[in-house]
Amino acid sequence: MNKLKIHLIAAARPNFMKIAPLYHALKKESWADPIIVHTGQHYDLNMSDVFFSDLMLPEPHLHLGVGSGSHAEQTGRVMIAYEQALIEEIPDLVVVVGDVNSTMACSLAAVKLGFKTAHLEAGLRSFDRTMPEEINRLVTDSVADILWTPSRDGDDNLIREGASTGKIDRVGNIMIDSMELIRSKIEAEAVYKKYDLEPENYAVVTLHRPSNVDDPDKLKQLCRTLVRQSEKIPMVFPVHPRTRKNIDKADMNGDLSKALNLKLLEPISYRSFMNLVFNCRLAITDSGGIQEETTYLGIACITLRPNTERPITIEQGTNQLSRADELESKVNQALAGPVRKRCSIDLWDGRTAERVVRSIQKHLNILK
């Protein structure tokens, strides 16, 4: 029997931990040939390659090398390059993950040529159309043939938008699989020591959303607030390339380097970053994934955004939204709360990849 070719599209940093567990699960199946397609949206060594090694992924089988650009440039370049790859490869299934520009671009290229397409992490909605990711999610979910959701709110959003229930399979949160896949390696490190931090007595900070970092005044306000809060709790802040450029442009390096308790780092590997998260007291972020990872671990998280597409993290009581001017009171509140909270979300159990494999078998009529 010929194996079924399954394209796993990986593009940007948050995608790599979503394809890894699925790649490993499909590799075990006699009928499946998982093929990693890297669009090249993220290309720096520490934004891409280190994630492949941490997650035991092989080199991408196909590399589209699109790089950075405006939204239209990046989306267009991915569509053109991936259309060509589809024509040459003829996959049996295309799997896109998350909500980055490449997710939408590859879905559009694939469905227009009639290739069956599945979206892993379907149904999340911030209801904020100023976010590029919300547009990517809406477009991807409206064209994909199979919709794999992480939680009940995902199903509800899709049904409200008119998706047929036959397309939706609730599979759980694949990011948890990645964390569990390399948990022993994450726990074997003590990265916080390298930065003279004590376990459960520091905050991990990440910021990269255009709405927080592209406007110099907003970025200055956020950086100054972080500097002040770091006098209360030491902070470690791996800086995303977009944020790094904007810190330089806003001329904030002087102020930030004077703050002895706020350590700015280059972007770091998945394993090292997760070790910092596992041992922190608090996360301050605008990332989607970190809201979920902290909730799973029962760690307090302050999300510097007016909304979230992951409301379940708020319901669990670990995550809270914050404006820059509310950060001080939210930090105080988080530090007054428990160090770890017991959380449990149905299907966030490290077995999502197995459920995705079963769903593929069902949708492609593959007998066990």
Binding site for ligand UD1 (CB under 6 A): 12-14, 41-44, 47, 68, 99-101, 132-133, 208, 240-242
How many CB atoms are located within 10 Å of the residue 195 CB? 13
Report in angstroms how near the CB of residue 211 gets to ligand UD1 at its nearest.
Answer: 11
Token readout for 228 is 């002040």
Report in angstroms how near the CB of residue 69 gets to ligand UD1 at its nearest.
Answer: 7
Report in angstroms how near the CB of residue 214 gets to ligand UD1 at its nearest.
Answer: 9
The C-alpha atoms of residue 273 and residue 48 are separated, in whole angstroms, by: 14
Do residues 350 and 20 lie in contact, with contact meaning Cβ atoms separated by under 8 Å? no
DSSP state of 230: T
Q: Which is nearer to ligand UD1, 140 or 149 (CB)?
A: 140
Q: Which is nearer to ligand UD1, 72 or 367 (CB)?
A: 72
Report in angstroms how near the CB of residue 74 gets to ligand UD1 at its nearest.
Answer: 6
Report in angstroms how near the CB of residue 253 gets to ligand UD1 at its nearest.
Answer: 17
Decide if 71 is catalytic.
no
Residue 41 contacts by C-beta under 8 Å, 6 or more apart in sequence?
A: 11, 12, 66, 67, 68, 74, 78, 100, 101, 102
Detail the DSSP E strand segments found in the chain: 4-10, 32-38, 62-63, 93-97, 117-120, 146-149, 168-170, 203-206, 235-238, 262-265, 282-285, 300-303, 319-321
Report in angstroms how near the CB of residue 11 gets to ligand UD1 at its nearest.
Answer: 7
* 116 SS3 class: coil
Of 10, 9, 3, 59, the C-alpha closest to 29 is 3
The C-alpha atoms of residue 320 and residue 298 are separated, in whole angstroms, by: 13
Residue 342 contacts by C-beta under 8 Å, 6 or more apart in sequence?
A: 298
Q: Which is nearer to ligand UD1, 32 or 131 (CB)?
A: 131
Of the residues 38, 42, 119, 208, only one is catalytic, namely 208
Residue 75 main-chain phi, psi, to 5 deg: -60, -45
Q: Which is nearer to ligand UD1, 110 or 131 (CB)?
A: 131
| Residue 118, strand partner residues | 95, 146
- Cite the active site residues: 208
